[in-house]
């Protein structure tokens, strides 16, 4: 690496890092992005559905060139037991509107596209290099250390993802706790494009997002996800680290096998070929997990800042990563005008975040992590749906009880009415 000094160094060429780099480079700043993978995206995993509102603000014509897999036009929520599945499907024309459009993406393809946009704007990418430490002088961060090399800058943006070891090293973040993060295990399964469209009942270019609660994790707090790509399916499970081993005691790598074997999922994958197996952590603590966001000469963005909300029926981290990257860049542009990169000079970041959807939504759903931590959500509720619907649709010639009697007796047996009411009230409070 050269002795050159940059206006800004960004650690991590994921979505948050490249959104920051793009914004800074476009404004004419000298910016370097350092990425440990051989190419951007080669270390990154998402579910993945990207809500595009923040990307549209960054690059309005992204749809013309971005590698988008399929536009999500159908939403499915599934309550799953070992041998049953209760599915709610929602489809609406408005899901296709530009204002709320969402697409399935694959990060090893999407991240290089965003990085290329930033490079075109003038950002300098250094890939295949791991930053080992932050360079600090006189109580402020002023660069990075990678092996023998030192690179200096006015400000460093930590876009290094959920583990953010660098933010931990300088004390901005504590070690992650097992209740704050979940591990996602994912498979990408290749199928031809026509088969994907036919199996999911969608037109070419359109797709389905499906979130699952219940059996995949064997009753542990977590769930399953499935997204349709152009000619593959992304499928996986997510489980909070704290709860691994609870419920039926299913090992993490077995969860995805369990999910794939479920009778409603297996036919969707038939004839498919495994293209990749991956795993990644997801911050799940919500608002209470957000660390110190800026300090002298340094800002945190994306997963490093724990900007993720997990609501059970949807997952959002990528739109937060892009927006926080852009806002960190806007903050740096102001700091450059003032020539003040101290914590005080960077404090506009907090105000920008407060006025954006990031802090608004994190605050709005601040009680969600506690609600999602209810084991009933993953065990009793799917079982309840199974018993009630099974009672309605299993016709074998024997005497059927009156529907109300059968529903009430089922409810009483699997979960007490008080528990159900409490869960409902908790949901009401969390939403």
**Binding stretches for ligand FAD (CB under 6 A):** 11-17, 34-37, 43-50, 130-131, 159-161, 166, 184, 186, 236, 238, 280, 282, 302-303, 308, 315-319, 321
Q: Structure tokens of 134?
A: 């932050």
Closest approach, Cβ 388 to ligand FAD, in A, equals 30
Can you state the angle between helices 318-338 and 15-26, rounded to 10 degrees? 40
**Long-range contact list for 258-262, CB < 8 A, 24+ apart?**
258/215, 258/216, 258/218, 259/80, 259/212, 259/215, 259/216, 259/224, 259/235, 260/187, 260/235, 262/80, 262/82, 262/85, 262/215, 262/216
Cα 248–chain centre separation: 26
Pick 15 or 176: Cβ nearer ligand FAD: 15
Q: Does 232 bind another protein (CB under 8 A)?
A: yes
Pick 14 or 247: Cβ nearer ligand FAD: 14
Q: Does 106 bind another protein (CB under 8 A)?
A: yes
Pick 47 or 345: Cβ nearer ligand FAD: 47
Closest approach, Cβ 22 to another protein, in A, equals 19
Closest approach, Cβ 163 to ligand FAD, in A, equals 7
Q: Does 280 bind another protein (CB under 8 A)?
A: yes
Q: Does 291 bind another protein (CB under 8 A)?
A: no
The residue written with tokens 């999407």 in the block is: 110
Encoded one letter per residue, x for contact with another protein by CB under 8 A and - for no contact, window 145-174 reads: -x---------------xx-x---------
104, 281, 304, 385: which one contacts another protein (CB under 8 A)? 281
Q: Does 252 bind another protein (CB under 8 A)?
A: yes
Q: Using CB under 8 A, which of the segments 96-104, 278-286, 303-311, 408-416 binds another protein?
A: 278-286
Count of C-beta atoms within a 10 Å radius of residue 254 = 14
Nearest to 316, CA basis, from 278, 275, 358:
358
- State how far the Cα of 305 lies from the Cα of 158, in Å rounded to an integer: 9
- Of another protein, ligand FAD, none, which one does residue 96 interact with (CB within 5 to 8 Å by kind)? none
- State how far the Cα of 378 lies from the Cα of 227, in Å rounded to an integer: 20
Q: Does 49 bind another protein (CB under 8 A)?
A: no
- Of another protein, ligand FAD, none, which one does residue 238 interact with (CB within 5 to 8 Å by kind)? ligand FAD
Pick 8 or 188: Cβ nearer another protein: 188
Q: Does 222 bind another protein (CB under 8 A)?
A: no
Residue burial 168-184, b: 16+ Cβ < 10 Å; e: rest: eebebbeebeebbbbbb
Residues 6 or more apart whose Cβ sits within 8 Å of residue 378: 213, 214, 217, 219, 220, 221, 222, 223, 247
88, 279, 351, 417: which one contacts another protein (CB under 8 A)? 279
2, 3, 38, 428: which one contacts another protein (CB under 8 A)? 38
Report the first-to-last Cα separation within the chain, whole angstroms: 49
Closest approach, Cβ 110 to another protein, in A, equals 8
Q: Using CB under 8 A, which of the segments 44-52, 192-200, 310-318, 333-341 binds another protein?
A: 44-52
Quick check: 103 and 109 in contact, CB under 8 A?
no
Give me the DSSP letters along 336-363: HHHT--STTTTTHHHHHHHTSHHHHHHH
- Of another protein, ligand FAD, none, which one does residue 127 interact with (CB within 5 to 8 Å by kind)? another protein
Nearest to 346, CA basis, from 13, 44, 58, 20:
20
- Of another protein, ligand FAD, none, which one does residue 175 interact with (CB within 5 to 8 Å by kind)? another protein
Pick 159 or 385: Cβ nearer ligand FAD: 159
3, 64, 148, 175: which one contacts another protein (CB under 8 A)? 175
Residues 6 or more apart whose Cβ sits within 8 Å of residue 362: 286, 287, 290, 307, 309
Closest approach, Cβ 180 to another protein, in A, equals 8
Q: How far is CA 284 from CA 79, 112, 238, in A?
A: 21, 26, 10
Q: Using CB under 8 A, which of the segments 135-143, 254-262, 284-292, 323-331 binds another protein?
A: 254-262
Pick 43 or 426: Cβ nearer ligand FAD: 43
In sequence order, which ranges of 59-106 are alpha helices (DSSP H)? Answer: 62-65
Count of C-beta atoms within a 10 Å radius of residue 373 = 16
CA atoms 340, 342, 347, 350: torsion sign: positive
Residues contributing to the site for another protein (CB under 8 A): 36-38, 41-46, 106-111, 127-130, 146, 162-163, 165, 175-178, 181, 183, 185, 187-189, 232, 234, 241, 244-245, 249, 251-253, 257, 260-261, 266, 269-272, 274-281
């Amino acid at each position: 690496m050269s002795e050159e000094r940059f206006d800004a160094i960004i650690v991590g060429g994921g979505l948050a890092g490249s959104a920051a780099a793009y914004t800074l480079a476009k404004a004419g700043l000298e910016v370097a992005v350092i990425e440990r993978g051989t190419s951007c995206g080669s270390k990154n995993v998402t579910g993945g559905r990207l809500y595009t509102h923040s990307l549209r603000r960054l690059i309005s014509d992204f749809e013309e060139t971005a590698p988008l897999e399929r536009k999500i036009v159908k939403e499915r929520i599934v309550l799953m037991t070992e041998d049953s599945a209760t599915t709610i499907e929602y489809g609406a024309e408005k899901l296709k509107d530009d204002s709320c459009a969402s697409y399935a993406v694959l990060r090893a393809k999407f991240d290089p596209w965003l990085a290329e946009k930033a490079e075109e704007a003038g950002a300098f990418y250094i890939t295949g290099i791991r930053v080992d430490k932050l360079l600090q002088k006189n109580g402020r961060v002023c660069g990075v250390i990678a092996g023998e090399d030192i690179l200096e800058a006015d400000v460093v943006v930590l876009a290094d993802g959920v583990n953010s070891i660098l933010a931990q090293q300088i004390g901005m973040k504590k070690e992650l706790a097992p209740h704050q993060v979940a591990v996602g295990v994912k498979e990408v399964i290749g199928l031809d494009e026509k088969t994907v469209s036919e199996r999911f009942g969608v037109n070419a270019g359109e797709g389905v997002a499906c979130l699952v609660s219940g059996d995949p994790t064997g009753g542990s707090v977590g769930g399953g996800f499935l997204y349709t790509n152009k000619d593959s399916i992304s499928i996986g499970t997510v489980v909070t680290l704290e709860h691994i081993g609870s419920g039926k005691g299913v090992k993490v790598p077995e969860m995805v096998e369990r999910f794939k074997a479920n009778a409603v999922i297996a036919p969707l994958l038939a004839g498919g070929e495994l293209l990749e197996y991956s795993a990644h952590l997801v911050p799940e603590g919500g608002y209470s997990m957000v660390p110190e966001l800026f300090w002298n000469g340094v800002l945190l963005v994306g997963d490093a800042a724990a900007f993720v909300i997990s609501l059970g029926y949807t997952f959002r981290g990528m739109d937060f990563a892009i927006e926080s990257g852009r806002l960190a860049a806007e903050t740096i542009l102001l700091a450059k005008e003032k020539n003040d990169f101290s914590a005080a000079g960077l404090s506009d970041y907090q105000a920008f975040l407060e006025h954006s959807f990031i802090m608004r939504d994190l605050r709005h759903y601040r009680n969600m992590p506690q609600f999602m931590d209810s084991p009933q959500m993953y065990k009793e509720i799917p079982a309840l749906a199974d018993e009630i619907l099974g009672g309605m649709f299993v016709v074998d010639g024997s005497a059927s009880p009156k529907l109300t009697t059968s529903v009430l007796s089922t409810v009483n047996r699997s979960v007490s009415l008080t528990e159900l009411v409490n869960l409902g009230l908790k949901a009401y409070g969390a939403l």
